[in-house]
Amino acid sequence: MKKNRVRWIGLAVLPLVAILLLTSEGVLDSANASSPSGTVQRVWRNVQDSGIYDFQTEITEVTHPGPALANVGRSSVEETLSLSGHVDLPAESLEMSLWDAASGQGPGDALRMRMEGERAYGRCPTCDDWQEIDDFRGALLPGSDLMVYLAGAKEIAEQETESLLGMRVTRYTFEVDGPAFGEQMRRQMEDYLRERGELPGIITLDVARQYVDMVGQGELWITEDDLPLRLAVHLEFPTGTNDDWIEAQIRHDFSHFDLQSAQAPRLLDDPAGWITARLDGLASHAGTWRQAGMDALGLMAAAALLALLVRYGRLRRVRNAVILALVLIMVISPLLQSQQAAAFGDRQGARAAEAEAQQREEAAVRDYQDLLANAGWNPNLDP
């Protein structure tokens, strides 16, 4: 009787513990909602809850030659890229156009790209058909989240509120924490690779060096609907080949949000809706939870075998079967994981070699352009 009472008490307490774990973060969020940091985080969540919006982006990257002998005569190189597009996360779709405004191109000269699930397509301005291309989200839209730079936001400060485009807009400024941003990028990349089945469970990624040493500042414009109107960041990256260093100016302008979805329920106003939203957020990390589930199943299988051994260990057939199963698990599992790790290493090595070759080609083009610019050759004079 006493054992049954303890069991029923445990069953009653477990749901309460789960609710406390789910709501503890929400209580803290509600308490900090009025702070600049809480406001910025709430706006970020609203963007994720909406999942549908248009954007216009301008990226300006300047490569500065470092103080090395190999850089004598070289000047800074500026590149500008313009993007516009539409994001629909519930439908797992992304459409965007890309063009080089600095060279006189406009939207009519843009390269069109779109994502449908895990497949990417591209179409040049003079082409009629879409061609399947490599996934471009990692290079242009980290984690398919234009607000990801807020993961490294620190020293957030509220600035003035003003009227802009018929709306009341409040500006917030912040410093960019490179290691925090790099950690967010690492988690997103791990989730992405695990969802695609490319990253074995025994491997974790390192934070990229360019993010660890990255510094910068940013500014976020927030409307009365707690949604972003503009996010702008200025970033400086560490030195690379020949002590070159890069600075980038990135500006995102947002519009046409799904306002109904963006108004996420709050804990104190709608507890059931808030818990549902939290569970949906957990579901967005399906790859991580899938890997955790596989690990848990493995542990449960090992525990079941151990229980069989303890309960029926005196029976020779059961004992031999359990020992054989454990040996197979201990031998085959590491082999499979090693094979997956080797395949992952080969893929990453090939991608790194391709990126290095592209960097060498771009450096050669810049050197040739500098040579032509400094040659002093006059076509109107007789050599």
pLDDT for 308: 61
Measured CA to CA, the distance from residue 245 to residue 74 in angstroms comes to 13
Measured CA to CA, the distance from residue 152 to residue 188 in angstroms comes to 14
Measured CA to CA, the distance from residue 242 to residue 314 in angstroms comes to 71
Cβ 26 vs Cβ 210: under 8 Å: no
pLDDT for 28: 47
pLDDT for 320: 67
pLDDT for 167: 87
DSSP state of 199: S
pLDDT for 21: 47
In this prediction the pTM is 0.65
Structure tokens at 314: 């005196």
- Average pLDDT, 10 consecutive residues per value, the chain (383 residues): 48 47 48 79 89 92 81 81 88 86 79 84 86 71 75 92 88 93 84 74 76 91 94 88 84 88 56 58 51 60 65 64 64 58 62 65 60 54 52
**Non-local CB neighbours of 261 within 8 Å, separated by 6+ positions:** 49, 50, 51, 52
Residue type present at position 279 = L
Distance of CA 42 to the CA centre of its chain: 18
Structure tokens at 330: 């201990």
Count of other CB atoms within 10 angstroms of residue 242? 14
pLDDT tens figures, 21-42: 444 445 445 545 678 999 999 9
pLDDT for 64: 87
Measured CA to CA, the distance from residue 45 to residue 226 in angstroms comes to 10
pLDDT for 129: 87
Collapsing DSSP states into helix, strand and coil, what is residue 252?
strand
Cβ 250 vs Cβ 232: under 8 Å: yes
Measured CA to CA, the distance from residue 209 to residue 87 in angstroms comes to 29
pLDDT for 372: 54
Collapsing DSSP states into helix, strand and coil, what is residue 288?
helix
Q: Tokens 């469970």, residue? A: 201
pLDDT for 310: 63
pLDDT for 329: 60
Distance of CA 128 to the CA centre of its chain: 32
pLDDT tens figures, 182-215: 888 888 878 777 777 777 766 777 888 888 888 9
Q: List b or e across 142-179, with b for residues whose CB sees 16 or more CB atoms inside 10 angstroms.
A: bbbbbbbbbbbbeebeeeeeeeeeeeebbbbebebbbe
Q: Tokens 């004992």, residue? A: 319
